[in-house]
Amino acid sequence: MLSGNEHIKRLIETMIVKGREPHSLIITGEHGQGRKTAAKYIAQALLCEKQTGRPCGKCRTCRMIADGVHPDVMTAAANENGNYPVDSIREIVSGAVIAPNEGRLKVYLIPDFDKSKITGEQVQNILLKLIEEPPDHVVIILTADSREAFLPTILSRAVSLGVTPCTKEECVSYLGTLNKYEYGDIAEAADALGGNIGLCIEYLDRGAIYSAVQNAREIARALAAGNTYGLLKILNDCDSKKGLLRQTLVLTSIIARDSALSRLGGEMIGCSAQGAKELSVRYGSTRCERIYRIISEYIARLDRNCSKTLVINSLCAELSGI
């Protein structure tokens, strides 16, 4: 079920009702905001037996797509480092000419395309032919964190849709329907992570984001107390798990952003309103903004594959000199 994102639902509905279905779509948005859910929603809307423009969610086709077992809805598999093997994409292109098994369309989902950093360009060049001249029965849906993952030749031929976060209320009400979590825990997750349903579920299941939230709160506390040693210790502890350091820094930067804007009455979107307040009391808006900029710069260095140890040590040194 796709929560919120009424703009996507309405656009797809209009396209289907008017018989102007796109053959290639690009869905972008942050991790956890429902890109894959939106892709499945579109596949359901296209193939639903009721054909109203919106998936009924109840027919056999809708249920098979939801369960990931519909023979005409195929999801490409990346290898473990996120790259799509070139051969598997060639297979998609050559298999695409074959008519669908049971539906009127064949839908290919190619998720998390931004992670295919090594083969991304090559894969797009292979897909280009199919995207330029798709058979009538083919729909390709690519998802990524941003449009930057794609070549202009692909972007110019695909319909781009951005998923947007749900409101906190939509998120809480959706998580409640899963009958899996306590209301108190749901409220806590939504408070920390806003309307990002994917991240809230990861938090409730005690995945990496849960540790990242705790770390970011501790870092804000250590910074507000001028505790450089504490800061260094938390960051070094993050170093052991893949991705945890980056996620922790992203969440910390949002707290710093909140603290810089707090006196202006800006909306708090980070995982610690308390931390943001304490930082703002100790440093004032201008220095909080510097903290935000410094942390953002170090996130960029991590993305450029700088050594984690170097990032941690230099970041601590810069932050303790604020």
Binding window for Zn ion (CB under 5 A); candidates: 8-16, 56-64, 158-166, 182-190: 56-64
Q: Does 62 bind Zn ion (CB under 5 A)?
A: yes
Residues in the chain: 322
- With CB under 5 A as the contact rule, the residue among 1, 11, 56, 244 that binds Zn ion is 56
C-alpha 224/C-alpha 241 separation (Å) is 25
Binding window for Zn ion (CB under 5 A); candidates: 16-24, 47-55, 244-252, 266-274: 47-55
- With CB under 5 A as the contact rule, the residue among 38, 42, 48, 213 that binds Zn ion is 48
- With CB under 5 A as the contact rule, the residue among 1, 11, 59, 93 that binds Zn ion is 59
Binding window for Zn ion (CB under 5 A); candidates: 50-58, 133-141, 162-170, 293-301: 50-58
Backbone angles phi, psi at 292, to 5 degrees: -60, -45
The CA–CA distances, whole Å, from 277 to 201, 215, 220, 271 equal 27, 17, 10, 12
- Asked if residue 139 lies in contact with residue 104, where contact means CB atoms within 8 angstroms, the answer is no
Q: Is 257 left (phi over 0), alpha (psi -120 to 50) or beta?
A: alpha
C-alpha 300/C-alpha 156 separation (Å) is 28
Binding window for Zn ion (CB under 5 A); candidates: 60-68, 71-79, 89-97, 170-178: 60-68
C-alpha 260/C-alpha 268 separation (Å) is 10
Closest distance to Zn ion from the beta carbon of 49 (Å): 5
The CA–CA distances, whole Å, from 39 to 24, 34, 73, 142 equal 11, 8, 10, 8
Site string for Zn ion, 222-261 (x = CB under 5 A): ----------------------------------------
Q: Does 1 bind Zn ion (CB under 5 A)?
A: no
| 65/249 with CB nearer Zn ion | 65
| 38/311 with CB nearer Zn ion | 38
Binding site residues, Zn ion, CB under 5 A: 48, 56, 59, 62
